[in-house]
Structure 1
Amino acid sequence: MSESTIWWLLAGVAVAVELVTGTFYLLMIAVGFVAGAIAAHLGLALVGQILVAAAVGGGAVAAWHWQRSKSPAPLPANANRDVNLDIGEPVQVSQWNPDGTATVKFRGANWTAVAADPSEPGNPGNFRIKEMLGNRLVIERL
Structure 2
Amino acid sequence: MAANGFFWWIGAGALVLLELMSGTFYLLMIALGFVAGGIAHLVGAGLEIELLVAALVAVIAGAVLRRSKLGHTARRDASHDPGVNLDIGETLKVNEWHEGRARAMYRGAEWDIELAPGETEGAQLYRITAFSGNTLVVAAKR
Q: TM-score range by the shorter chain?
A: 0.7 to 0.9
Q: Which residue of 1 aligns with 2:106?
A: 106
Q: Which residue of 2 aligns with 1:62?
A: 63
What whole-Å deviation, never above 9, does each CA across 1:54-99 have from its counterpart, x for those lacking one? Answer: 1221111111212249857321222233333223x22133334213
Indicate whether 1:44 and 2:21 are aligned. Answer: no
Decide whether aligned partners of structure 1 residues 32 and 98 sit closer, same or farther in structure 2, where only a CA change above 3 A counts: same
Query: What is the TM-score of this pair, normalised by structure 2?
Result: 0.77
1:43 deviation in Å? 2.4
Q: Residues of 2 paired with 1:26 and 1:64: CA distance?
A: 11
Q: Residues of 1 paired with 2:110 and 2:81: CA distance?
A: 22
1:96–1:123: 8 Å Cα contact kept in structure 2?
no
> Which structure 2 segments of 5+ residues have no match?
none
Indicate whether 1:82 and 2:83 are aligned. Answer: yes
Q: Residues of 2 paired with 1:37 and 1:81: CA distance?
A: 47
Q: Residues of 2 paired with 1:21 and 1:72: CA distance?
A: 15
Q: Which residue of 2 aligns with 1:116?
A: 116
Q: Residues of 2 paired with 1:80 and 1:17: CA distance?
A: 31
1:135 deviation in Å? 0.9
Deviates more, 1:99-108 or 1:66-75: 66-75
Query: What is the TM-score of this pair, normalised by structure 1?
Result: 0.77
Q: Residues of 2 paired with 1:70 and 1:37: CA distance?
A: 26
Q: Which residue of 1 aligns with 2:12?
A: 11
Q: Aligned-pair RMSD on alpha carbons?
A: 2.7
Q: Residues of 1 paired with 2:108 and 2:139: CA distance?
A: 20
Q: Which residue of 1 aligns with 2:94?
A: 94
What percentage of residue pairs aligned between the two structures are identical? 38
1:14 deviation in Å? 1.8
Q: Which amino acid aligns with 1:8?
A: W
1:3–1:37: 8 Å Cα contact kept in structure 2?
no
Runs of 4+ in 1 over 6 A off after TM superposition: none
Decide whether aligned partners of structure 1 residues 110 and 13 sit closer, same or farther in structure 2, where only a CA change above 3 A counts: same
1:109 deviation in Å? 2.6
